[in-house]
């Protein structure tokens, strides 16, 4: 593997540098080819790095940024006043070729808008979409998009999401003729919103897409499709609902049961629970945090605002993977053959 440089918006997210700095060190420790540009307030970052391993520290550089975009800021306004913010500086590093990709846990709308503005979207893509790869019970993977890059999507946008998702599944997950479904509230053709029905009509007639119809929310983890497409509002609610339920289960697994038992029984119980928790672990949100903004000319990964250190490391790893697999380039190449030519 060759050297790879990522720009990290160190100030974004609910916990800012308290999470991003230790996560950065952890990521550097696990990949000797990784270099990081940590963008944010130099004083804060320097003090947090004071006790860092000096060997790892050599592959890390602090890039000063004087402000942070608030997570509750209106995207349009945030973008207007974004100059000098950690998110924007991180994206500039990608634009100028100093970094291969950018990772941020900051304001989703601002990241989406700024990334589109500064890096540009691929030909044929109106609006980029947030995509994640979920594990499913068939031991496979399901590509889910959009997760909230757009709150309202028309049918043309849903079709573009479907194409990008299919390319992702084919090129990165190595699934040939990936199945593509639309998330809806019923499997019958007459069900749901008009935009979804219109998108279904277009996808049904597109020979390059292996469209299999509607799927409902309960099929999210069943592996019935390789790509599941929905608008950003629905995708965000769906993913968060799933994560909430998984967390509840994992916490129930780990909580004590209250009843006193023989020590050897308790020990055995704890061992079994630990094994179960491990088995469910692949559904743990911390392990697949990080959504790729698909449809841009470069890789941008959005982490959960509330990501833990471990979760932020997962987001960094997703960016590494996307760069190494040349995700934007592969999508661009496939889009050229799939999308109608505009003259």
Which residues contact its own copies by CB under 8 A? 71-74, 108, 137, 148, 151-152, 183, 185-186, 188-193, 216-222, 230, 232-234, 236-249, 251-253, 257, 265, 268-269, 272-273, 275-276, 279-280, 283
In the complex, minimum distance from the CB of residue 222 to its own copies, in angstroms, rounded to a whole number: 7
Q: Closer to its own copies by CB, 55 or 137: give it.
A: 137
Quick check: 130 and 148 in contact, CB under 8 A?
yes
What's the rounded Cα separation, in Å, for the pair 81 and 67? 10
In the complex, minimum distance from the CB of residue 243 to its own copies, in angstroms, rounded to a whole number: 5
Quick check: 333 and 168 in contact, CB under 8 A?
no
CA of 244: how far to CAs of 142, 225, 229, 237, 316, in Å? 19, 22, 21, 10, 22
CB atoms within 10 A of CB 318: 24
In the complex, minimum distance from the CB of residue 137 to its own copies, in angstroms, rounded to a whole number: 6
CB atoms within 10 A of CB 50: 6
Q: Closer to its own copies by CB, 108 or 299: give it.
A: 108
Give residue for tokens 């990008």: 164
In the complex, minimum distance from the CB of residue 221 to its own copies, in angstroms, rounded to a whole number: 5
Q: Which helix (H) or strand (E) holds 135?
A: strand 129-135
Q: Closer to its own copies by CB, 124 or 306: give it.
A: 306
In the complex, minimum distance from the CB of residue 271 to its own copies, in angstroms, rounded to a whole number: 10
In sequence order, the 6+-apart residues with CB closer than 8 A to the CB of 51 are none
In the complex, minimum distance from the CB of residue 176 to its own copies, in angstroms, rounded to a whole number: 26
- Count Cβ atoms within 10 A of the Cβ of residue 94 and give its class: 0-12 exposed, 13-18 middle, 19 or more buried: buried
């Amino acid at each position: 593997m060759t050297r790879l440089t990522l720009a990290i918006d160190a100030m974004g997210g609910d916990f800012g540098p308290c999470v991003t700095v230790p996560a950065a060190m952890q990521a550097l420790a696990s990949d000797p080819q990784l270099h990081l540009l940590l963008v944010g307030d130099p004083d804060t970052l320097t003090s947090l790095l004071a006790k860092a391993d000096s060997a790892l520290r050599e592959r890390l550089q602090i890039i000063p940024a004087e402000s942070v975009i608030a997570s509750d800021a209106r995207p349009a306004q945030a973008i207007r006043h974004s100059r000098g913010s950690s998110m924007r500086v991180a994206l500039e590093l990608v634009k100028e070729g100093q970094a291969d990709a950018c990772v941020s846990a900051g304001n989703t709308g601002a990241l989406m808008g700024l990334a589109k503005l500064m890096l540009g979207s691929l030909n044929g893509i109106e609006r980029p979409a947030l995509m994640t790869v979920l594990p499913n019970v068939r031991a496979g993977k399901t590509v889910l998009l959009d997760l909230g890059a757009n709150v309202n999507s028309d049918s043309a946008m849903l079709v573009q999401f479907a194409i990008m998702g299919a390319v992702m599944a084919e090129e990165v997950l190595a699934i040939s003729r990936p199945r593509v479904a639309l998330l809806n509230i019923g499997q019958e053709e007459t069900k749901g919103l008009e935009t979804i029905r219109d998108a279904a009509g277009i996808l049904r007639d597109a020979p390059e897409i292996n469209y299999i119809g509607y799927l409902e929310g309960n099929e999210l983890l069943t592996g019935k499709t390789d790509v599941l497409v929905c608008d950003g509002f629905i995708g965000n609610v769906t993913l968060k609902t799933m994560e909430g339920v998984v967390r509840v289960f994992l916490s129930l697994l780990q909580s004590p049961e209250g009843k006193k038992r023989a020590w050897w029984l308790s020990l055995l119980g704890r061992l079994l629970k630990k094994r179960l928790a491990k088995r469910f672990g692949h559904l743990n949100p911390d392990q697949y945090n990080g959504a790729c903004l698909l449809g841009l000319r470069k890789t941008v990964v959005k982490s959960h605002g509330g990501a833990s250190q471990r979760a932020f490391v997962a987001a960094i790893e997703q960016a590494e993977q996307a760069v190494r697999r040349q995700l934007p380039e592969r999508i661009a190449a496939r889009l050229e053959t799939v999308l109608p030519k505009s003259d």
